Amino acid sequence: MAKKKSNYENLIQSEKLPLHIAIIMDGNGRWAQRRLLPRTMGHRAGMSTLKEIVRACSDLGVKVLTVYAFSTENWKRPWEEVDYLMKLLVEFLRKEINELHQNQVRIKVLGNYSNLPLECQSEIEDALQITRDNPGLLLNIALNYGSRQEILAAVKVLARKVAAGEIEPDVINEETFSGLLYTKDIPDPDLLIRTAGEMRISNFLLWQIAYTELWITECLWPDFSKDDLLQAVWDYQQRDRKFGGLNGERQDGINA
């Protein structure tokens, strides 16, 4: 039996796809609690959703997908939950790396993963090495990531360069600063999706989302589907992106 087509699949304009989609994957715990399950089961269900959405973005022709997997603030959660999340990361990379590689997906990590358990670091290094030359979808996984920390780290680098006389303060511009972030050489997100209905950014890509279109859904992350993704993309394509001007052109000169 042929798979039923998405309600939005025929509405998407391929020439107006967002180049870069970022996702705050929220609602795993609530999904589990509503089903009287441990929160860990929500995270496991969320992992399955991530696999589906990565595949959907790759098939759609999106160039960059950035997902918020573990923030610097998530260390405040109970040790048992954090430990499970670390093990789930290892499991995801081990199970999915072959398919990701076959589909030409390139993996990049945003954040300081040197603080993660050694097993996580090893799996991450293997994934980065295996996929480093792949020309397809760039999958950015934000791990132990916090945007304020990212910005402060860039400020400290610039401060040291100024103090050493390597750079004059007056020549520092947005391009200089962006080049010191984890996302250097990556276009800013065109579309930011947040699940579970929360109306906040949660310390995610604060510099990079200055002109990003926001799309917030009540759908909990484990229930988020390809059709939800396509709905978000379709809604994005209906918007007139002016970037503070009137001509509807991206800052990098690509028509929006």
d(CA 128, CA 123): 9
Helices (H) and strands (E) in the chain, counts: 7, 6
**223 backbone dihedrals φ, ψ, rounded to 5°:** -95, -5
Predicted confidence (pLDDT) at residue 254 exceeds the cutoff of 90: no
Query: What average pLDDT is seen over the chain?
Result: 93
Asked if residue 172 belongs to a domain, the reply is no
**Rounded percentage of the chain residues whose pLDDT exceeds 70:** 93
Number of domains in the chain: 1
Tell me the C-alpha to C-alpha distance, in Å, between residue 56 and each of 88, 91, 114, 121, 141: 21, 21, 30, 27, 16
- Amino acid 61 reads G
Count Cβ atoms below 10 Å from residue 14 Cβ, excluding itself: 7
Task: Give residue-wise pLDDT tens across range 209-230.
Answer: 999 999 999 999 999 999 999 9
The single-letter DSSP state of residue 44 is: H
- pLDDT the model gives residue 7: 79
Asked if residue 48 belongs to a domain, the reply is yes
d(CA 68, CA 75): 14
Predicted confidence (pLDDT) at residue 253 exceeds the cutoff of 50: no
Asked if residue 203 belongs to a domain, the reply is yes
Q: What is the CATH number of the domain that holds 77?
A: 3.40.1180.10
DSSP per-residue letters across 202-247: -SSSTTTTTTPEEEE-SS-GGG--HHHHHHHHHHHHTS---TTSSS
**Element (H or E) spanning 41, and its range?**
helix 39-60
Predicted confidence (pLDDT) at residue 110 exceeds the cutoff of 80: yes
Task: Give residue-wise pLDDT tens across range 13-51.
Answer: 999 999 999 999 999 999 999 999 999 999 999 999 999
Asked if residue 87 belongs to a domain, the reply is yes
Structural domain containing residue 96: 19-145+187-237
Asked if residue 141 belongs to a domain, the reply is yes
Asked if residue 256 belongs to a domain, the reply is no
**pTM of the shown model:** 0.92
Predicted confidence (pLDDT) at residue 237 exceeds the cutoff of 90: yes
Q: What is the average pLDDT across 169-194?
A: 97
Asked if residue 111 belongs to a domain, the reply is yes
Predicted confidence (pLDDT) at residue 193 exceeds the cutoff of 60: yes
Return the active site residues.
26, 74
Predicted confidence (pLDDT) at residue 96 exceeds the cutoff of 50: yes
Asked if residue 156 belongs to a domain, the reply is no
